Structure 1
Amino acid sequence: MMKIKRAFLDTEDGQIHYRIGGEGEPLVLLHQQPRSSDEYKELMSILAQKRQVIAMDFLGFGDSDKPPRMYSIEDYAKNVIELLDKLNIEKASILGNHTGSFVAGEVALTYSERLNKLILCNFPNFGEQGKKKLLEIYSKGYKIQEDGSHLIARWLARYNYVGTPELNHRWVLDDLKCFGYPMYAVYAVANYCLNFKARLSLIQCPTLLLWGLEDVKQFENLGLAKAEDRLIATQLIPNTEVVELEQGNICMMNQMFEEVAEVVINFLDKQDLRKDTIYSVKS
């Protein structure tokens, strides 16, 4: 098993915790909220056998500091570049899941000269209604209850689909690190999502859209985004390929890490893309 180390990056807004391992072409992994780099614990062990892999905790999440102000997607993208600078990495590929996909896309736009390939996982097409629903569900953040009832509430929140008590425990630990603070990334996504369509068309690097179809259903069930709208990015980004994992849900980076690793490695090693082709992977 490839050894993954931990370290911290000092920034003007606080320390950023990150994990790093492997050698070769670098790949940065950006997590969803309210998770952390722990989302990629299993995936990193596989990918680090072929390349250098870095996963960071966004400020406000995991073991990174809480930022002194509300952060934006542009701020988080800047943090990614700060980390690459510290590690003396001139160019990297980036994979982002959910919230991380917005940040990854912004890096591809604003710092295009630093990017090789882009992987957007479960990248939602939020409209105005989706933005309102996003804030309605998540903007209140997690509140500490005097009787400790918030602990069992978080345990039960997603237990039916996380799969194992051990994985659920890891998710709950990430939840608890967010208690008593704003959900920084929710506001960042909400303020950014209505402009992303125009910005997507400016992305020029080879791009993979990786979808978990169970996750797509959950987006729709929550009223966040319509399932049929998920592929709009293929119409906007010039050099795009799509892979769909039929049983992939919000936990797929942990539950289906071998399948995800195979898709990611194939895409990163590929010299050309077959645009507008959808590969559906049964598991």
Structure 2
Amino acid sequence: MNKPIKRAFLDTEDGQILYRIGGEGEPLLLLHMNPRSSDEYRELMPILAQNYCVIAMDFMGFGDSDKPPKLYSVADYAKTVIALLDELGIEKTNIMGNHTGAFVSGEVAAAYPERVNKLILCNVAGFGEAGKVDLMRRFDEGFVIQEDGSYLMERWLARARYVGSAELNHRWVLDDLKCFGYPLYAVWAVGNYCIEAAERFSLIKSPALILWGIDDVEEFERLGLALAQDRYFLSQALPHSKVVEFSNGTICMMNQIPEKIAKTVFEFLDSANF
């Protein structure tokens, strides 16, 4: 039987942060990609909550969290993670992050090693200088609200070609639209962090699992954001890590293959020998 997932808010000096929580036992924090929200883990959370106390937060500027009064760096987002853990009385947690969430997860493990048990990093692209330039171009362009409403169909079509279902596309586009008219917070944060990411990640001592969706890797290459081989920077920065790759429906893998993800996560977290 799936455990119920409840929602609540954390008050911070920059606004409220929405988080979802369910299950009991050892904590596992889930951090979402850009431009999504904790909804990215809607399928996965009830499965993981059978064995763990699972928490997923909306980063500031995303989902139902408030828009912050300033641009947040990856380090700023890491501080909000610590604020949520403190609010919940959690001294140490496992963390899993996807894309932007993985950069934040890595920074939490590097800056606050005493707060992290095991770490799961998903789809962490190595952008490099060229990637940073392209990220900043996307930041400058932003998500623009158009008077004729044409941006609504543009977002639907942009996601529909690889999301896999109308219902999932609808949820993704809703998250997209909540970001319109505001700075692309995560793009700016990752763009300014990506050059130092390998150095920061090399500080991580926690046991680490690296998950890759091969379709996701190919999509980044198609967009010109990162080459497929750029992903290997992560396993080089974390030579003690284990790597698992998924194919077939892995661009939105948290939603599309939650059972496979959960099985791999359980095996990693439950292993005493890793």
What TM-score does the superposition give when structure 1 sets the normalisation length? 0.94
In the alignment, is residue 258 of structure 1 matched against residue 259 of structure 2? yes
How much has 1:138 moved relative to structure 2?
A: 4.6
1:65-80 map, 5 Å: 65-80=66-81
Aligned-partner residue type, residue 210 of structure 2: L
Partner of 1:178: 179
Provide runs of 4+ in structure 1 moved above 6 Å. Answer: none
1:10-49 map, 5 Å: 10-49=11-50
The separation in 1 between residues aligned to 2:64 and 2:219, in whole angstroms, is 28
1:153-168 map, 5 Å: 153-168=154-169
In the alignment, is residue 144 of structure 1 matched against residue 133 of structure 2? no
Q: Alpha carbon RMSD of aligned pairs, Å? A: 1.0
How much has 1:251 moved relative to structure 2?
A: 0.9
What TM-score does the superposition give when structure 2 sets the normalisation length? 0.97
1:83-162 map, 5 Å: 83-162=84-163
Structure 1 portions without partners, runs of 5+: 274-283
How much has 1:220 moved relative to structure 2?
A: 1.1
The separation in 2 between residues aligned to 1:35 and 1:227, in whole angstroms, is 23
How much has 1:201 moved relative to structure 2?
A: 1.3
Q: Is the 8 A contact 2:127 2:230 kept in 1?
A: no
Aligned-partner residue type, residue 154 of structure 1: R
The separation in 2 between residues aligned to 1:147 and 1:75, in whole angstroms, is 36
How much has 1:248 moved relative to structure 2?
A: 4.5
Partner of 1:82: 83
1:270-281 map, 5 Å: 270-273=271-274
The separation in 2 between residues aligned to 1:14 and 1:98, in whole angstroms, is 24
1:190-205 map, 5 Å: 190-205=191-206
Partner of 1:281: none
The separation in 2 between residues aligned to 1:172 and 1:126, in whole angstroms, is 25
Q: Is the 8 A contact 2:109 2:206 kept in 1?
A: yes
Q: Is the 8 A contact 1:37 1:56 kept in 2?
A: yes
SS of the residue corresponding to residue 250 of structure 1 reads coil
The separation in 2 between residues aligned to 1:72 and 1:235, in whole angstroms, is 24
Q: Is the 8 A contact 1:139 1:187 kept in 2?
A: no
The separation in 1 between residues aligned to 2:221 and 2:250, in whole angstroms, is 13
How much has 1:217 moved relative to structure 2?
A: 0.6
The separation in 1 between residues aligned to 2:48 and 2:92, in whole angstroms, is 17
Q: Is the 8 A contact 2:138 2:187 kept in 1?
A: no
The separation in 1 between residues aligned to 2:140 and 2:98, in whole angstroms, is 19
Report the more deviating stretch, 50-59 or 218-227: 218-227
